[in-house]
Amino acid sequence: MRRFANCRRCVASSQKVVAGLPYAFQGQMSTEEVKGGSPYGASTITNSDGSRQPSEVELEGAKYQGAHVAKLAAKLA
């Protein structure tokens, strides 16, 4: 956690915005399957041979985060 706090300070001093995957995305809340995605951002879990592709929930999380970033960018423009 300390590393994250240092990172936030660095980002704040360079006037950047951190836009993770909001808790409003309900797909990250279930525990029925192994999946990527966290409040830090959309992600996926893969096998080392690339045989596991992103699930529908992981793709929805990426789209949700993309829309979230676009809305933030529009407000800052």
Tens of pLDDT, residue by residue over 21-61, are 888 887 777 777 777 777 888 888 888 888 888 889 889 99
Q: Who contacts 52 (Cβ-Cβ below 8 Å, separation ≥6)?
A: 45, 46
Which residues partner with 41 through β-bridges? 38
Q: In a 10 Å sphere around its CB, with 0-12 CB exposed, 13-18 middle and 19+ buried, how is residue 61 labelled?
A: buried
Token pair 């590393």: residue: 3
Q: What is the pLDDT of residues 50-64, one digit of tens each?
A: 888 888 988 999 999
More confident call, 4 vs 55: 55
Measured in whole angstroms, the distance separating CA 56 from the mean position of its chain's CA atoms is 15
Task: List the one residue out of 20, 71, 73, 67 whose CA is nearest residue 43.
Answer: 20
Which pTM was predicted? 0.71
